[in-house]
Amino acid sequence: MKTMITVTIAAIALAAAAFFLLTPANASTEHLAKHKEAFTEELFRQAQADNRLILIDVYAPWCPTCRRQHTVLNDYFAQNPNSDILVLQVDFDSQKDWVTYFKAPRQSTLALYRGEEQLWFSVAQTRERTIFAELKQHDQGAD
């Protein structure tokens, strides 16, 4: 009986891990997708030169906190379709030089810039109220 319980618990844990690892990172992010680009130095420098509002999103597809942040960001852009924020997604696993450049201690780091000035920096923040407040404070296109 004890072995059966152990096997059942292990199966449940394995199923939960598979769900988190295999759930697409872009599920339910259609509004975010309209504002998001894969990070390149050229895009970043041009956006800075244009004095754009830039949200750096240090992201990893295996990160559950990142997925939660993307849900919150998607909700923000759903409520603010005229937002002037450009989201540049830095891949935590393959763009290590830029992870270091942005001083991101881990994936799920968000950094908001207007041109060259950093306006906000956050690690692992998933509270909608906090993220919305910081973005709206600087987003001229917010409703």
| E strand segments, the chain | 36-38, 53-59, 85-91, 109-114, 117-123
- For residues 90 and 112, give the distance between their C-alpha atoms in angstroms, rounded to a whole number: 13
Q: Is the pTM of this model over 0.85?
A: no
What digits encode the pLDDT tens for the residues 22-59?
Answer: 444 445 678 888 889 999 999 999 999 999 999 999 99
